[in-house]
Amino acid sequence: MILFLFLTAFTLLLLIIISYLLWWIPRPKLVALMYHHIGPVTNEEEKDFFIEAKTFEQHLSLIREKGFNFVSIEDIETHQATKSYLPYKPVVITLDDGWEDNYTYAFPILKKLGVKANIFLSVSQIGTPGMLNWEQVKEMNESGLVSFGSHGLTHKRLRSLTSENVSYEMQNSKKILEEKLGKKVLSFCYPFGAFDKRIRYLCFKAGYIIDYGTRKGVNVMPWNGRHPLQRAHVMRNNSLRHLKTQLIFGREKI
């Protein structure tokens, strides 16, 4: 009896020690960087969202120099679905909305450096002035360097819509993108970063498996799905020093 109690206590103690050690083992972390415009300022009211092309190239070069590996949203989807490994120090470059300057200025840099990037498209705005058109989207998609996710149909604040309209935004943007791109679209980025439990439920119900927000921080992988993936905000006034901080903490200041 005494031996049994001793072995039981020893086993429990061993399990506690192992659990404690596993808790402190560093887990892979994904850094997601959020951009919008690449190129010269064309809208003074939103100039903070414009990153000069030469600065964008410096960012990508610095990220590579620091030993990070660029991944696509599709790499993350596969990792999440199959628990396959992401490369060491993964970083995902995201560009919101689908501005034409993403093709004019960002795409040539991506090709020059061989870097993966990802654009979240507001589908009904494709082909309108200042936005990407379908020919440009197709060319970038076929390059193997640019992946696309949904940013909704009309870039509306989803929390202000009925559940029926939210589902319409999510389902139809997904359907159109899949038809145009010829592949599954499984990532959704909330317009304005606005979401709640209802919106997230409808997002996954629509068939997406990963959602992206605007909360700052880094993401422990595999992602537990409790919150949308966090993204560091890259703004015009950020220096390279700020970028280095963002790559560590997911924010420009600590």
Measure the CA–CA gap between 37 and 48, rounded to whole angstroms. Answer: 9
Domain count, the chain: 1
Structural domain that includes position 145: 29-249
The pLDDT of residue 8: 62
Identify whether 1 is part of a domain.
Answer: no
Query: pLDDT confidence of 5, banded at 50, 70, 90?
Result: low
pLDDT tens-digit series, residues 38-48? 999 999 999 99
- Asked if 120 contacts 149 with a C-beta cutoff of 8 angstroms, the reply is yes
Q: How far is CA 166 from CA 12, 26, 107, 221, 227, in A?
A: 49, 38, 31, 28, 19
Q: Which of 103, 109, 100, 116 is nearest to 33 (CA)?
A: 116
Tokens at 48, concatenated: 């903070």
Identify whether 8 is part of a domain.
Answer: no
pLDDT tens-digit series, residues 86-120? 999 999 999 999 999 999 999 999 999 999 999 99
Asked if residue 27 has pLDDT above 70, the reply is: no
Identify whether 88 is part of a domain.
Answer: yes
Identify whether 39 is part of a domain.
Answer: yes
pLDDT tens-digit series, residues 173-227? 999 999 999 999 999 999 999 999 999 999 999 999 999 999 999 999 999 999 9
User: Average pLDDT of 64-84?
Assistant: 95
The pLDDT of residue 87: 94
Identify whether 18 is part of a domain.
Answer: no
Query: pLDDT confidence of 24, banded at 50, 70, 90?
Result: very low
Identify whether 4 is part of a domain.
Answer: no
Q: What CATH number corresponds to the domain at position 210? A: 3.20.20.370
- Asked if 212 contacts 229 with a C-beta cutoff of 8 angstroms, the reply is yes
Identify whether 24 is part of a domain.
Answer: no
- Asked if 204 contacts 226 with a C-beta cutoff of 8 angstroms, the reply is no
Identify whether 7 is part of a domain.
Answer: no
Phi, psi angle pair for 8, to nearest 5°: -65, -45
